[in-house]
Amino acid sequence: MLTTFLIYGVIFQERHTLKQYAGAALVFLGTLLVLSNGAFSIKLGDALIVLAIFIFPFGNFFAKRVLEQISLYQVLFFRYVFSVPFLLVVSFCFEDTAGVAMALQWYWWLFAAYIIFIMLLSKVFWYAGLRRLPVSKAISIFAVYPAFSLLFAVLFLHEWPTVYQFLGFILSLVGVYRLIGASVSAEQKDLV
């Protein structure tokens, strides 16, 4: 999210208000608190993920451009036609796939739910929102997912948050509220 604001502000010349930057910073800090849980250490995997986040703003920029030309269902079709075979080859090369058939047999309902809710519906909603919102605002709203993951962990798994995680949850929600409120007030000023 922070990289989206920086890249879109500098490279793509998207204008942001101070309230939007403040909201993005609150969401970022809240996410850090939820994920770090008070302990901060960086491993190689963490560094690779941090490097990967610089790719997302460019991918979303091009996805938004493509959505102006074709439907979101066509985008999803092409996304999965090219990515699924590639990811299957990578997984067969680097992972032990011996138990996959047994896992599919026992947990077929979990795979079906994942395909429907994560691979299909979440992407349909994401691209529909991306078509209507500025990318930096969409990314900022999406970035609150660690806070909601924490909420679902409490509701469904009965795992109670630590003080750091609870504070991160509150900061993330306040940040999203600031982002949405700043964007709505800016849009209202444009209409007047």
The confidence band for 29, taking pLDDT boundaries of 50, 70 and 90, is confident
pLDDT at 50 over 80: no
What is the total count of domains within the chain?
1
The confidence band for 42, taking pLDDT boundaries of 50, 70 and 90, is low
Find the mean pLDDT for residues 121-142: 81
Find the mean pLDDT for residues 38-54: 70
**What percent of the chain stands above pLDDT 90?**
1
- 5 or 67, which is more confident: 67
Give residue 62's domain range: 2-191
pLDDT of residue 192: 43
pLDDT of residue 3: 67
- DSSP assignment of 110-154 equals HHHHIIIIIIIIHHHHHHHHHHHS-HHHHHHHHTTHHHHHHHHHH
